[in-house]
Amino acid sequence: MNNTQSQVYDVVIMGAGIAGVSQARHLLLNIPNIKVALVDPRPEERTEKDLKVGESTVEISTLFFGKELGLYDYLIENHPPKYGLNYHWAKQPSKTESIDDYYHVWSIKQPPLASTLMNRAKFERDVLKMNKEMGVSFYNGRVIDVDITPGDALNIVKVKVGDEYFELQAKHVVDAAGRKFIIGHKTDNVISGAENLHGLSNGSAWVRVKNVDRTIFHNGYDPLAGTCSHYYATNHMMGHGHWVWVIPTDTQTMEVSIGVAHHHQVIPASSVNTKEKFYAFLEKNHNVLYQLIKSGEDIDFHYLPRLGHKSKTLFSQDNWYVLGDAAAIFDPFYSLGMVMMTFEMESTTEIIRAKLAGEPDAEKKRAVYNAYNLGYIESCNHLLRDQDKQLGHASVMSWRMYLENMWWFGMIVPMYVGKWHLDLKFLRKFGKLNGRVVRKLMVHVYDQCNQLIEQDANIGLMYIHRGGQLPFGYYITREFDSYLQDTKYEPKRCNVFAYMKNIYFFVALWYLKFLWKGFGISGLLSPRNLYHVFNLLRASAECVLDDWIFRFKTRGLPANSIIANVAEEFKSYRYQPELQPWTQKVAEQSLQTNSKNTSKASELVTLKV
């Protein structure tokens, strides 16, 4: 056994999965000369059997990977594109042999913001290599202990690499080691159990296969209903107490990930916890997917009996942080795991940057970011409330998903684009407003959805991707500020208040329609229901004032500073109708070449003589 070696780092990241390698790259890109170490026991060349729950990004996580980490080209060249989220319910549970046996909510067009499907093992391997080239120290070993010290004293991460032992001294320690919960166990920081997770008790079985015949799922021909691929999306096959994902992860080997997220109250773990049982489940309940799997070659199978957990603290005043699965995960529905991770990583970088720079408000940032991220995690947890009862009901679930997508595109996405999630003043207001309005409404709506299911109600189908279902020309991805068109990508250039005032108003309209369709005139006039309508309208009115203030403060401010500078520089432009001579240079190069050839020929003649 070798003696323990000691190194000092600004940040030590435990775990080189997607959270760890992404956090390392984000730190390197945003904090000059930062010294970062990554620790992970897995080989750098991840095997194809390194399976993950969650192989699909959405708008925010793709913006992070592509824009914030500078990996757009890499994603295009190495991972399949994604064309939205599709949802399918069997018309008759006993007949699922063809995609035509389902009711559908298909994506109908190219999305305004890109997203991608992902081979997670490949991504982690490639970004780890990039990080090493950027100067990250990689310890291909196991963390055997971590000593957390109070305040700003150095923390100690004890690592074993082969027969060598290292003590890594770290100003900041990041736990991105997933379900190992290195810091979680050390600090009693992990919360699990249905009683702590809004009743969530779920597990997941999944398999990856290659060389599948994708035409079994869809032949790609849909000239009248869509301008995008239906196969290269995240397809959700919905059913009682479960949903099944279909995610292509490679375009060359025709590899696909297919898995079920199931609620134990409906589908016990013992019924899907082996490959044979999982395949039998698909054969009986989603036969078209069974055919798709059987057309290819198995890579591997995995079962995770417990998906959900969350953390009490994400960013500690003692300079430790938990990210990704180490922080929280609930269900891959909506692909929000990477979104939670994105908010966590950007907050972590800003806290560490502020602390290393000695900024006086660094502790205030840590406290506010910790509160906001915990609140967002709580919201993601709440999105799964009562799904065990509602997933398989096409009518009720389509209304629910329409509402949830209204919040996503109408508030969360523009907030992220404008970096409002890093603005302390905005986060305090946002937290109070959402706590007073959104969470109370959502609890009430989910309870009402349960009532409709008990009544076996059919209130029609709300089609997430289409317009014309609410008044005033509203549709889910409608823009209320020109942040995409005018490249308002700098912090606080996107007018999030314009979105908030509109989304509270349109949610009120959605709720009125939901009440009318589901409960009639008595539902519309119920004081309890009207309370939520007025609460939404009041929130909209409050945001009208914020919108006016924002517009006043930003009057004359360019939408994008880089483009504004180009426009300013262009003022000196003068048309110069001339070309630079080039034939003379080519002629000179030809003379030089001929001269060299002549010289070589002379040398050969001399040698022969």
Tell me how far apart the alpha carbons of residues 359 and 355 are, in angstroms, rounded to a whole number.
6
Is 60 in contact with 339 (CB distance < 8 Å)? yes
The residue-averaged pLDDT of 245-255 equals 95
Residue 239 scores a pLDDT above 80: yes
Residue 449 banded pLDDT, cuts 50, 70, 90: very high
Tell me how far apart the alpha carbons of residues 48 and 249 are, in angstroms, rounded to a whole number.
11
- What is the H or E stretch that residue 262 is in? strand 255-263
Is 189 in contact with 322 (CB distance < 8 Å)? yes
Query: What pLDDT digit, counting tens, does each position of 121-142 carry?
Result: 899 999 999 999 999 999 999 9
Residue in the block written with tokens 């054969």: 283
pLDDT of residue 55: 81
Name the burial class of residue 552, with classes exposed (0-12), middle (13-18) and buried (19+) by CB atoms within 10 angstroms of its CB. exposed
pLDDT of residue 478: 95
Residue 272 scores a pLDDT above 70: yes
Query: Percentage of residues in the chain with pLDDT exceeding 70?
Result: 96
Put simply, whether the predicted model's pTM sits higher than 0.85 gets the answer yes
Nearest residue to 27 via CA among 164, 155, 160, 173: 173
Residue 1 banded pLDDT, cuts 50, 70, 90: very low
Residue 591 banded pLDDT, cuts 50, 70, 90: confident
Query: What pLDDT digit, counting tens, does each position of 206-220 carry?
Result: 999 999 999 999 999
- Supply the DSSP symbol for 66: I
The residue-averaged pLDDT of 560-581 equals 94
Residue 282 banded pLDDT, cuts 50, 70, 90: very high
Query: What pLDDT digit, counting tens, does each position of 11-68 carry?
Result: 999 999 999 999 999 999 999 999 999 999 998 886 666 656 668 999 999 999 999 9
The residue-averaged pLDDT of 315-330 equals 97
Which residue ranges form the domains of the chain, and what is each CATH number?
1-51+58-71+118-198+310-385 (3.50.50.60), 81-116+202-305 (3.30.9.100), 393-599 (no CATH)
pLDDT of residue 49: 61
Residue 5 banded pLDDT, cuts 50, 70, 90: confident
Tell me how far apart the alpha carbons of residues 26 and 301 are, in angstroms, rounded to a whole number.
32
Query: What pLDDT digit, counting tens, does each position of 165-177 carry?
Result: 999 999 999 999 9
Chain mean position to CA 332: 10
Taking the alpha carbons at both ends of the chain, their separation in whole angstroms is 72
Torsions phi, psi for 325 (to 5 deg) = -65, -25
Interacting residues of 363 by C-beta distance below 8 A, sequence separation 6+: 317
pLDDT of residue 2: 56
3-state secondary structure 418-481: CCHHHCHHHHHHHHHHHHHCHHHHHHHHHHHHHHHHHCCCCCCCCCCCCCCCCCCCCCCCCCCC
Is 387 in contact with 333 (CB distance < 8 Å)? yes
Tell me how far apart the alpha carbons of residues 237 and 391 are, in angstroms, rounded to a whole number.
10
pLDDT of residue 607: 54
